[in-house]
């Protein structure tokens, strides 16, 4: 059974650019959640997608957006990158919206 995978592993962007991060959920999981983990802090919830619909959102501005595809993989898009967007972005999948979340290895984004 394949776990949660994320791509790319690392990314460097400049301020003002746009970025797309990708996540493949664990087999059989229909729910994907995205988190941002700044250095030295715990992960912070961005949003969750359940069966291709947004199912809840944390305290992040609209320039953070997402998609979930019919195969339940997901994308996180961030527009107009700011220096403070530099962080580890974690994706977690679960069997359903209320079930235990299993995390991928993350994408480390550096904004210069």
Partner 1 sequence: DQQVKQNSPSLSVQEGRISILNCDYTNSMFDYFLWYKKYPAEGPTFLISISSIKDKNEDGRFTVFLNKSAKHLSLHIVPSQPGDSAVYFCAAKKINNAGNMLTFGGGTRLMVKP
Which residues lie near partner 1 (CB under 8 A)? 4, 33, 35, 40-45, 47-48, 55-58, 90, 92, 94, 97-98, 100-106
Q: Which is nearer to partner 1, 28 or 42 (CB)?
A: 42
CB of 23 to partner 1, least distance (A): 11
β-sheet bridge partners, residue 19: 78
Q: CB count, 10 Å around CB of 30?
A: 18
CA distances from 70 to 10, 17, 27, 100, 105 (A): 26, 28, 13, 21, 22
Q: Which is nearer to partner 1, 69 or 102 (CB)?
A: 102
CB of 40 to partner 1, least distance (A): 7
Q: Which is nearer to partner 1, 33 or 74 (CB)?
A: 33
Look-up of token digits 């619909």:
53
Q: Which is nearer to partner 1, 39 or 71 (CB)?
A: 39
Task: Fill in the DSSP letter of residue 36.
Answer: E
Task: Fill in the DSSP letter of residue 15.
Answer: T
CB of 15 to partner 1, least distance (A): 26
């Amino acid at each position: 059974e394949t776990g949660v995978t994320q791509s790319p592993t690392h990314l460097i962007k400049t301020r003002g650019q746009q970025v797309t991060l990708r996540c493949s959920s664990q087999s059989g999981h229909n729910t994907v959640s995205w988190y941002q983990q700044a250095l030295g802090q715990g992960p912070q919830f961005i949003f969750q997608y359940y069966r291709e619909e947004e199912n809840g959102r944390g305290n992040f501005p609209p320039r953070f957006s997402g998609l979930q595809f019919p195969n339940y993989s997901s994308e996180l898009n961030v527009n107009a990158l700011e220096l403070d967007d530099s962080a580890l972005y974690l994706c977690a999948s679960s069997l359903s919206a209320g079930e235990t979340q299993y995390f991928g290895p993350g994408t480390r984004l550096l904004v210069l």
